[in-house]
Structure 1
Amino acid sequence: MTDRLSWGNGTLTIELEWSADSAPRIAAVRSEGTSLTMPAGLPLVDVLAVSHGHSLASDRLVHTVIGHESRYAGHDQRSTATGVELRIRLAHEDTGLEIELLLQLLHGLSVLRSSASVVNRGDGAVVLRSVPALALYLGGDNESSIRDWELHHALSDWLGEGRWLAEPFDGVRFPRLEQHLTNHNPRGEFRVISTGTWSTGKHLPVAAVGSRRLGAAWAWQVEHNGAWRWEIGEDTAGGYVALSGPTDTDHQWTQTLHPGASFSTVPVAIALADDVTAAIAQLTAYRRSTRRPHPDNAAMPVVFNDYMNTLNGDPTTEKLLPLVDAAAAVGAEIFCIDAGWYDDSGDWWDTVGEWIPSTTRFPGGLGEIIDRIRQGGMVPGLWLEPEVIGVNSPMAQRLPDDAFLQRHGERIVEHHRYHLDLRHPAARAHLDDVIDRLVRDFGIGFFKLDYNIDPGPGTDRDADSVGAGLLAHNRAHLEWLDGVLDRHPTLVLENCGSGAMRADQAMLSRLQMQSTSDQQDFLKYPPIAAAAPASMLPEQAASWAYPQPEMTEEEVAFCLATGLLGRFYVSGHLARMDARRRELVAEAVAVAKSLRGELTASTPFWPLGIPAWDAPWTALGLAVDGGALLTLWSRDPGAGLVELDLSRFAGADLTVTTIFPRSLPEWDTHWNAETGRLRVAHHAPEAGARVLRLQAAVPPTGAVSATAAHSASQTPWR
């Protein structure tokens, strides 16, 4: 006899089934306009242990012996203030493991959040090797195969963040193996992993698959500030996706569960919609709903930072005072003094960690600069790299060895820094003292929290494995951040990790803004800025605008436009600019302030498809009530003409207006309501950018709004 449970929130429904002879599994899913049936064969939860491996030898996250042998042991469901929860319990008789999967749905969203916990109820120890937080078939109909789907994922790097690509599941990635002849599952998979603590340093923990034939798409994220893995695979029943934190195979993670001990996975989230753009829109709404409450979430004050293409870590009183006055004059609301403010030597890299203001850089004291910032009506901010201690810092000797990440009894050294182990009370106490002192003594209201090293797989001090030590440190880091914001509820924290090398949802759900890159070539920034809202909220995405006095007016406008559909983040030698260029900066700041309310309810889309690194044209759209905001960059003056896919507004009377820059020549536009195409011409002999407002006088049926996005186009992300 098969038991079945239907559970959902009215927007997304999940059908689960089990029997006395089979493990619980997801049998079907339904959302608005999308319905997928799941084949049998994939257990609801897979646990890999040293004593109980795979049912067929492989490196997969799925098809483990414990997963297939686990049986239903009960479930509970309840309503919460924000949605519904289901806890389904499984038991594995041989090991005595009790496994609980926690599934959560928010009201009105087609996004499933999942995490698993494992408790040892047996008499002997069990050594865990991997526990995915969620695994499910992609689903479909009787004709479905993995080759119905196309994968969307992103490569990332310092200065080259978020380079998305689309890959069809054709005969190269997933060849037809005729596995039905062996009646065994294939052994391979396509895995994407991140090691260490740069959680977005090489790949993003955000990806999607879409099927045009099925009219369905999944988009997911692993919500962890350390090591993670997601994989796509195919078995004899169909294609699947599995999402996980650290594993033994990839991250040197094992966890010994003695009787009575437990382990919980990192959380993951997955959205279901009818295409990839709509699935990303669902994740966008989910990210917005699960952010830590903070006044900055809506206020979004404009930040000026002295680093990028400006002081570059060499602040002094002489250099800062003119910048402070210029930033105030253009309307900045926060002024952040970046790296170097604590350094007396002129070479601060390996001496960081004490965070005492320099006396040589500021003969009148740092307080003189802070007072000038306040006089300009701005909130003072400082750069910190809290998790590291330079090898030549006084703190390197004051803190005990156990306060640092270690391997084989030695402190880990990377790029002339030690790395604090935030499991240790002395490490956390030091950082708390630093934050509290700077807030108390200088009234700091903004910290840019940077992170420029990766300590590797982890620490073996006081841990079952190197990976387990790192996971515990990652979790302690999040607890520390929560503690800082609990003590200082109006303090604004920027997340920066050599640009966006640690831009995961665990961090983004807590911190107020995210630097999207350290890219200093303004012509290379557009694809980074345009792709950022696929993996973070538009209002969190701080893409640097660093105009310079020697730039042409079009180049100044280009730099400023790059950041306007996000958290506006300004740098540049404003004090050296002539009046005309400074007026352009002030104009952009005013526009940024006027857009704040719309950005916090917007949904991203891409009228030219996935942003390409070398494309002559790049576009980012944000759907807002009544239409959209659109930034269009032209990096090749010879391109001249581009046609944007705005089929979401087909049939509507679309008014196109330039909102920035208003003082430079407008670009020619022509709207074809029948085809849903907007033609834009840029005939200037240099690169340029414009920020446009698209106002739909009569919204078309199924048009995108700030709360729902749908693209009729068959081109990825349009």
Structure 2
Amino acid sequence: MRTWGDITLHFPTADPSTGAPGLELLPSAFAHRAQPPRTRIDEPAARHHPDTGPARSVEPLASAARAGDPLHEPFGGARTLRRSATEAALRLRSQQADDNDHTVTTELATGDGLALVHRVTRHEGFVRIRTTAVNEGDRPLTLDLLTSFTLTGITPFAADDAPAPGRLVVHRIRSAWSAEARLVSDTVERLGLERPYVNIGTVAERFGCAGSMPAAGWMPFVAVEDTEAGVIWGAQLAAGGPWQLELIRGRDGLAISGGPADRDLGGGRIVLGPGESYEAPEAVVSVVQGGLDELCARLTSAQSGHPRPGLERGLPIQFNEYATTWGNPTHNRVLALADRLQGTGVRYFTVDCGWFTEPGADWGRSHGDWEPSTARFPGGLAATARALRERGFVPGLWWEPETTGELSKAYADPEPHVHRDGAPVHVSARRFLDLRRPEVTGPLLERMAAVLKDFGYLKIDYNANLVAEGEVVRELTAASQDFIRALSARLPHLVIENCSGGGHRISPAYAALTAVTSGSDAFEAREAPVIAANLQRVLLPRQSLVWATVRADDTESDLVYKLAAGFLGRLCLSGDPDLLDEPAWRLVTEALTLYQRAAPVIDAGVSHHSGTRPADAMRNPTGWQSVLRVSADGTQALVVLHAFADPGGSPTVDLPLGHWTVSGALGSPLSVAGTRLRWQSPQPWTGAVALLSC
């Protein structure tokens, strides 16, 4: 065992002389409670069966399957590519610990040309795991499966298969357009992951993404909770393209693994020539004595070390005019809005889509030529950007660089686009540029640099999901990330927002490249606060853009409900601020002032979720929810509350120990007594915010 702070690593082996080691993570304070696994199944149904074997297997910490592999699992076809001949052939070549860089490197090899290099690196509260496949042979090899990580032996706190119903709970996060980050929690029984009564057969649950939107369907996240021991394991994959996560069980211990989507799930194959290597997406993995909130705080903390532009200090509030003009911006309308917003604390002003179309044209079918409309911006975009700067704003601009709309001249030329089955791929009135090719990316980069030199903020959008051969999609999404890197190097002053029809590219892979991430397109939907709260499980609030779209016909409670949601991430104002009457506008400006005061807690803290809203209720939620976010030093806290249909009673939120006072509030009265905050009898569809000091 190796202890790294409050995480202990254990590398068990089924057969120390030949077998590849597995990897277990345990909370250090609980490591002594791990149970030696039983050696044989002693249940009556198995007692007389000839194949009772060892009761617990060790899943190798890295695994692969090669094209043409015999599979040793008789009933796992189309469910898993684990249990392959390649996996069975893996042997430990070496394992070394480097205490200087806090890394354990394990090399596995098959003896016939394939080596897997697995590196686990220590960080505060989590580990990073990277696995590289190397072709050491003299002929090409093709991988149908490669894992980034595997955790074996869940749960180590039971000597058997933890048979108590409901003891092991699997947490996953579904995602769809304007329904991002829906928490789904299932028992292993509900997922069919109970062990077979004897050691025959394997049960598996594999899920992931096959296209170019890594959060279309599922987020690259999984957690398994031992509710009896009070311990939870989890992982996030830094996957920009096709990925998978897998739960597998053949004997007592459950295992979780993940990596690039395999051939069955994503059509992906990794072809390595002699001497070539491929590194699977990084996995951030942790274990904690606690619950889902504590685990997610650890996993998302891995995103906190990414470089941040200087403009990002203080979490600037943004105004984006999309939900104002709906793709019809003009110079005059932009400046009228800017005049209204002066002095409010709004710093970024983003001109969204449509700046390149003539009035009446469909922006979603016309992008790709990137010529600013002289009808909309008679003096050119540079003049509008200059006028915004004169009013104290950082001007921003929308762009969808990876696709071309079917009404653009760029769309008409099939040659620079991605092809499948001999024809350009077309999805939702778009074709996809092949960013793997320098002759495509070069001119695009030049065009963007020429326009964006006058801007300080860029919203990169991506509004269609490309599905093709797995290796093609993997290469294209890697090229997409390289393009963002190149753009950042060319225009280092830019603050970049990652958007993909809202949150379809929410992944650590993209969060590492951009300062801001679009959380959702739920511009003024009543489920917006549910989505924003849920997103904190996979994305730092300081990166998570949340729309607050204000309307002239909003009531005071409507405005508070919307504005309060903005405190769950990066507040993005939109709508009709210049049409609000003075009382309504005063309420908005008070909220913006409070947000600026709360920004340090939003920026760096730990969130705790509570309430009575059912976890699976999003479009039509009932009850209430709260998110308590406590600053890193424990001296400040932010509580964001929302009441939905039938909230019932007076919600209370438990606060950390200390003497708390309300230093700022938004919405109906909130009171603190000891370590409990009380919201007195909220009406349905209302919100409230409290900034607390200790």
Q: Could you list the per-position Cα deviations for residues 37-62 of structure 1 after superposition, in whole angstroms to 9, with x for gaps in the alignment? A: 68542112111112324322423243
- Cα distance in 2 for residues equivalent to 1:157 and 1:280: 20
Partner of 1:65: 85
Give the partner amino acid of 2:637: A
Show the 5 A alignment for 1:265-414.
265-275=280-290, 276-289=292-305, 291-308=306-323, 310-344=324-358, 346-397=361-412, 401=415, 403-414=416-427
Conservation of the 8 A alpha-carbon contact between 1:640 and 1:682 = yes
CA distance in 1, matches of 2:222, 2:24: 21
TM-superposed deviation, 1:482: 1.4
Equivalent in 601, 617, 628 of residue 621 of structure 1: 628
Kindly state the Cα deviation for residue 599 of structure 1 after the two structures are TM-superposed. Answer: 2.0
Residue of structure 1 equivalent to 2:30: 34
Q: How much does 1:112 deviate?
A: 1.9
CA displacement, residues 497-533 of structure 1 (integer Å, 9 cap, x when unaligned): 1111111110011111112111134422111011111
Distance change (3 Å), C-alpha of 1:530 and 1:656? farther
2:157 to 137, 141, 146: 141
Q: Which moved more, 1:586-595 or 1:415-424?
A: 586-595
Q: Is the 8 A contact 2:318 2:349 kept in 1?
A: yes
What secondary structure does 1:477 align onto?
helix
* Structure 2 SS opposite 1:584: helix
Q: Work out whether residues 540 and 567 of structure 1, in 8 Å CA contact, stay in contact via their aligned partners in 2.
A: yes
Partner in structure 2 of residue 632 of structure 1: 641
- Aligned-residue Cα RMSD (Å) equals 2.3
Distance in 2 (CA, whole Å) between partners of 1:92 and 1:683 is 64
Which residue number in structure 1 is paired with residue 180 of structure 2? 161
Alignment pair present for 1:90 and 2:89: no
**Other structure's SS at 2:297 match:** helix
Partners of 1:497 and 1:252 in 2: how far apart? 23
Pick from 93, 107, 115 the counterpart of residue 130 of structure 2. 115
Paired residue secondary structure (2:235): strand
Cα pair 1:284 1:603 within 8 Å, conserved: no
2:66 aligned with 1:49: yes
Alpha-carbon separation, structure 2, partners of 1:588 and 1:269: 36
- Unaligned runs of at least 5 residues, structure 2: 38-55
Question: Residue 468 of structure 1: which of 471, 484, 492 is its match?
Answer: 471
Q: Aligned residue for 1:704?
A: none
Question: How far off its partner does 1:175 sit?
Answer: 4.1
1:291-323 per-residue CA deviation (whole Å, 9 max, x = no partner) reads 234324534211100012x11111123322211
Within-5 A mapping of 1:118-267 = 118-137=133-152, 138-145=154-161, 148-170=167-189, 173-175=192-194, 177-178=196-197, 180=198, 183-184=199-200, 186-267=201-282
The aligned residue for residue 427 of structure 1 is 440
Q: CA deviation at 1:198?
A: 1.5
For 1:417, the aligned partner's letter is: R
Q: Percent identity?
A: 23
1:237 to 1:177, Cα distance in 2 relative to 1, 3 A: closer
Q: Distance in 1 between matches of 2:572 and 2:421?
A: 43
Matching residue's letter, 2:245: W
Alpha-carbon distance change, 22 to 623 in structure 1, aligned in 2, over 3 angstroms:
farther
Question: Which one of 546, 549, 552 corresponds to residue 552 of structure 2?
Answer: 549
Is the 1:208–1:217 Cα contact (8 Å) retained in structure 2? yes
Q: For residues 566-581 of structure 1, what are the structure 2 equivalents within 5 Å?
A: 566-581=569-584
C-alpha separation between the residues in 2 aligned to 1:453 and 1:597?
A: 35
C-alpha change, 1:416 and 1:27, in structure 2 (3 Å) is closer
Structure 2 equivalent of residue 641 of structure 1: 649
* Contact persistence 2:108–2:117 (CA under 8 A): yes
**Bigger shift: 531-540 or 329-338?**
329-338
Inter-partner Cα distance in structure 2 for 1:411 and 1:504: 27
SS of residue matched to 2:531: helix
Cα drift, residue 690 of structure 1: 0.8
Measure how far apart 1:79 and its partner are.
Answer: 5.0
1:181-219 CA-to-partner distances (Å, cap 9, x unmatched) read xx33x3331222112011112111123221121221012
1:571 counterpart SS class? strand
What does the per-residue CA deviation read over 1:518-574, in whole Å, with 9 as the maximum and x for residues that have no partner? Answer: 113442211101111101001111110111111111211211111023112111211
| 322-331 vs 351-360, greater mean Cα deviation | 322-331
Moved more, 416-425 or 627-636: 627-636
Distance between the aligned counterparts of 2:202 and 2:486, measured in 1? 44
Q: Distance in 2 between matches of 1:246 and 1:653?
A: 48
Residue 463 of structure 1: aligned partner:
none
SS of the residue 1:292 aligns to: coil
Structure 2 contact 660–674 (Cα < 8 Å) conserved: no
Q: Using the TM superposition, name which of 612-621 and 523-532 deviates more.
A: 612-621
Letter in 2 for 1:312: W
Contact 2:315 2:603 in 1 (8 A): no
Asked if 1:659 is matched to 2:664, the reply is yes
Contact map agreement 1:232 1:240 (CA 8 A) in 2: yes
Question: Following TM superposition, by how much is the alpha carbon of 1:683 offset from its aligned partner in structure 2, in angstroms?
Answer: 4.5
> Partner of 2:575: helix, strand, or coil?
coil
Query: Cα distance, 1:654 vs. partner?
Result: 4.7
Structure-2 change in CA distance of 1:678 and 1:22 (3 Å): farther
TM-score, L = length of structure 2 = 0.90
Helix, strand or coil for the counterpart of 1:520? coil
Between the aligned partners of 1:417 and 1:171, the Cα distance in structure 2 is: 40
Secondary structure (helix, strand or coil) at the match of 1:350 reads helix
Tell me how far apart the structure 1 counterparts of residues 160 and 384 of structure 2 sit (CA, whole Å): 64
Q: Distance in 1 between matches of 2:261 and 2:377?
A: 45
Residue 501 of structure 2 aligns to a residue whose secondary structure is coil
Per the TM alignment, residue 263 of structure 1 is displaced from its structure 2 partner at its CA by 2.1
Shift of 1:32: 3.9
- Deviations 1:250-293 (Å, cap 9, x if unpaired)? 1111122232222221111111101222111111222213x234
Query: Once the 2 structures are TM-superposed, how far is the Cα of residue 171 of structure 1 from its aligned partner?
Result: 5.6
Post-superposition CA distance 1:449-487 (Å, at most 9, x none)? 11111121x3xxxxxxx2112111111211111122222
Paired AA for residue 448 in structure 1? K
Q: Secondary structure at the match of 1:189?
A: strand
Q: 1:90 to 1:529 in 2, by over 3 A?
A: same
Does the residue aligned with 1:34 lie in a helix, a strand or coil? helix
Equivalent residue for 2:455, pick from 439, 444, 450: 444
Alpha-carbon distance in structure 1 between the residues aligned to 2:191 and 2:567: 40
Taking a change above 3 Å as real, the CA distance of residues 207 and 384 of structure 1, as seen in their structure-2 partners, is same
TM-score with structure 1 setting the length: 0.87
Give the Cα separation in 2 of the matches to 1:49 and 1:328: 61
**Residues paired across the two proteins, number:** 657
Distance 2:191 2:410 in 1: 53
Give the CA deviation at 1:116.
1.3
- SS of match in other structure, 2:185: strand
Name the CA distance, whole Å, in 2 between partners of 1:265 and 1:126. Answer: 16
- d(CA) in 2 for partners of 1:585, 1:541: 20
